[in-house]
Structure 1
Amino acid sequence: MLEIENEIIRRNIMMKKSGILALVAVLLVAVLVFAACSPATPAAESSAPADDASPASSGEASASAADSGKKLKFGEIAHDRALEWVNYGVQNFEYTCEQLGVEPVVIDAQNDMEKVLAGMEDLLSQDVDAVSVYSFSPDLDARVAQMARDAGIPIVFENAVPADSVDRDAVTCCTYYDIGYAAAKMIGDKYPGSKFVYIMGQPGMNITEPYNDGIAAAIADGADTEMVESAPTNWTAEEGMNATQNLIQSGKEFDVIFANNEQIAQGVVKALDAAGLKDKIPIIATGGSPLGVEMLESGDLYGTIAAPTSYMGALSAKKLYDLTNGKAVEEMTYLPLLPATKEEIDQIIPWTPGAEVIEAIGGLD
């Protein structure tokens, strides 16, 4: 009897073990089926760009930056803010950026080519969306332009026309040939038969050279004057004074002085005054700056060829804004020129930032 009971117990235990094993098998099958039916996790490389994807163009990259809703940031590399011409241009670039809701970042190269390249690297490290650069030299312009292209951002050049080989989106600059032409014509018209000296700025920047060409063309076209001497400076009043003193001491005969900007003219006035010639040698300059207007009003200048650097700075900022928004811009824009005497002061486009300058460039729409 005991053996029968033990046999029954053994069989019950075996049946329980079999049931447990069957349940485990069913659960394993369910897990495998669920895993097979679950959606696969996307491969990591599907979100990364393909190795052979081509970089976006500067227009595409900048347009996407504008569309992203983030505040745009524009860089500018200026020649030397110690010069009135440059400083007022920069002020108008900054003002126009602010009116457009753009953050301006300005690098002052201080007439140092190495600082131009370092400044460009600095701007790119700050992720600017576009850049405007004062033209320096064909080689330097080309290097800066290539840096902008590599970064996929638009680039506008200011102040002078870069070499044709330099890749750029637009240029805003002076026609220095036309200024030289207008200055020689003004001298010939007001002081016929005169001999004048040209106290020039810094050679080698594609600025003084076109001035010389314009002067020569005006004289060839009949301007009744003769250029008897020229002297280079670094655009400052101090060097303008030194150059004029040297000319006076040389014994060179001249009747008129043409100064390459109104800061130089300020130095010329000091040298003439010290030599007792202030009221005997008239001065013609270029610019139309607040200093120039003051000198016209006081009689220290007979005339100036007004070329608003304010227009250049403001329009360069507007061009960058349009480029970053995928709009077409005028590739080459020259500043409007006005040969002005005291009587034309009210027609000069002001250099100080404001609504009048914005209106002169056609508004911001």
Structure 2
Amino acid sequence: MNGKSGESLSTVEVEGIYFDGRSSRDRAARLTVQGDQVTVQTSADGVSGGTEARWPLARVSIDPPLPGVRRVLKFPDRTRFETEDDAAIRAIERRARRTRPLSDRMLGGVRQLEGSWGLTFAALGLMGAFVWGFIAFGLPAIARGAAAATPSRVLTTFDRETVDLLDKPPYLGPSKLSAARQAELQRGFRQVVGWAGGAYSYRLLLRDGEPEDDGNGSFGGFSLGANAFALPGGTVVMTDQLVALARSDRELLGVLAHESGHVTHRHGLAGVYQALGLTLLTTVVTGDLVSAGTFAAAAPAALLQRGYSRAAETQADEVAGAFMLEKYRTTRPLRDILARLENKDAKADESSVQSGNRIEDLLQSHPGTANRIEHLRALEQAAK
């Protein structure tokens, strides 16, 4: 703003750049406000000659100020004038009676905030806390809500697509258990799901968790070992290796009851939603079966590697504990099989598992085996 831009004078002049609304090329320009008229004069630039345009001040639009951004005046023919001279534009606003009583004070406050390193770091800290809180609490809550709202037909598609994938290399091979042994385990599973209830398409799949390479590259290279896991629609997979590790079918039924708890509380689905992020939640919850199939293709890694949260494992253990206490009046078989899974030792029992220190327990995102055994023991004591 030149020396004539004081509010007591009749003319305001300001230097800036001009855009013609047809291209992104800018041209040096001078804007003059005299009375109620605005004049824009552009300089010749070797491509176009100088031009002059005149508008009534009342028809000129002035964008509100933003810190660090040039002030912008827009004209009725979609051309615009930009300048770094905020003081001159504020004088024009006062001339046009567009003064914003709080705008100058607010702008000054914003600029003060921008210049304070302490406030900047504090803001970053608050943002970091918000992001952490969303990941730690918000996303799990959203995932649980989405899992509860997912239609049953989507769960069925999810299970089918996931099993189709798991039954291909390198995950699982056909079970090597005898037909009689498989039938025996299926009868036990029916007892568990009859007790668990819920409108789920329960089925038990027995598979080899350590398939050998057949020479054609059809298996091998991935060892699930002694394990059992539940898919959201009620499909439970149990490996031959887990059957071999158990000393009795009571132990296996305890494991199956635990997996039924994950099904009825939809822990697996919530865990997969959380692992794969929010982008898939909407398509699956709305019942898009094509998306559900695509979603299932990414699920095995989340199911087999992520594990469950402390709350989910504890809840499933409580379901299994209730089953064991009702059927056998003890949780000892489940405690023993958990110990053998922890130690990978067929001779281990619940006394073989040592508790970690308290700090380690607090830092773990998943409950330790010792904590789980202790909780099952407490459930038994409380039932007496």
TM-score normalized with structure 2 length: 0.22
Higher relative CO (Cα under 8 Å, sequence separation at least 6) belongs to 1
Q: TM-score, normalised by structure 1?
A: 0.23
